[in-house]
Amino acid sequence: MIYEDLKGKNVLVTGSSSGIGAATAVLFSRQGCFVGVHYFRTKDGAEKTLEQVKQNSDGLLLRADVRDEKQVNEMVEQFAREAGGIDILVNNAGSLIDRQPFETATVDYHDDVYATNVRSILLVTRSALPYLKKSRGNIVNIGSVAGHHGGGNGSGIYAGAKAAVATETISMAKEFAPYGIRVNSVLPGFIETRFHERFSPQQRWKEVAEQTPLGRNGTAEDIAKVVLFLASEAAGFITGEYIAVNGGLYMRA
């Protein structure tokens, strides 16, 4: 166990049927947390995550399209009811959906990217807020370094959405601080998950690893460890902050 204070906390991790969310859910279970394992399309992935969670602690399978207010409200209510409250919310569900440059991007694509990556955070956070107020809990939003550097080939609209996640993290941190709720974000770089299996050729994986000062691409666990730090008392005086996790690929003063 890394963080003793996380023991017994109720943690909802959106998008934990795969990749970063799955690794985060499992790492929280290793601290003795009760974990909400959420999915939308990938039920078998979520079942696999829950199986791993149950090897360490306990959890609950939850389904919702994070773009849909009614589904989100029902999902959050179900988790809060069965867990007995919410201490930590990880807004991780998100996707590039497709690679569409501005020149040819459809309005439907644009709106879907923002609904999946930005509206989702509004909906889940607002629904969980009454419970987080009670627990004086905290929120970790998963952004992206793309939100800082503008993204690569056909990912500019996604980069814009992730920039909104970064800014709204600060806005939420200000609004929720009077309730004792901290809000922070993690900005992954190139992380080897289904995300890049879908959207980047293997040659790109190799190129990025070679360009990265630490000499490799990231793993889902690299991100999960930082999410746990931000959610723990070790980060008890940190709010409205982000940590970029990218092996030194994008450094800023």
d(CA 142, CA 20): 9
CB-CB contact of 16 with 49 (8 Å): yes
Specify the residue for token string 């003063």.
Answer: 253
Which letter, b or e, does each residue of 107-130 get, where b requires 16 or more Cβ atoms within 10 Å of its Cβ? eebbebbbbbbbbbbebbbebbbe
The smaller minimum CB distance to ligand NAP, of residues 40 and 131, is found at 40
Sites of contact with ligand NAP (CB under 6 A): 15, 17-21, 39-42, 65-67, 92-95, 116, 142, 144, 188, 190-191, 193-196
| Burial bucket for residue 241 (CB in 10 Å: 0-12, 13-18, 19+) | middle
Q: How far is the CB of 123 from ligand NAP (least distance, A)?
A: 10
Residue 114 is a catalytic residue? no
Catalytic residue among 158, 179, 242, 250: 158
Q: In angstroms, what is the minimal distance from the CB of 162 to ligand NAP? A: 7
End-to-end CA distance of the chain: 33
Kindly tell me which of 36 and 94 has the beta carbon lying closer to ligand NAP: 94
Residue 35, helix vs strand vs coil: strand
Smallest distance, ligand NAP to C-beta of residue 191, A: 4
**93/157 with CB nearer ligand NAP:** 93
Q: Which is nearer to ligand NAP, 179 or 229 (CB)?
A: 229
How many whole angstroms separate alpha carbon 50 and alpha carbon 99?
31
CB 241, min distance to ligand NAP, A: 17
Which amino acids are annotated catalytic?
Answer: 158
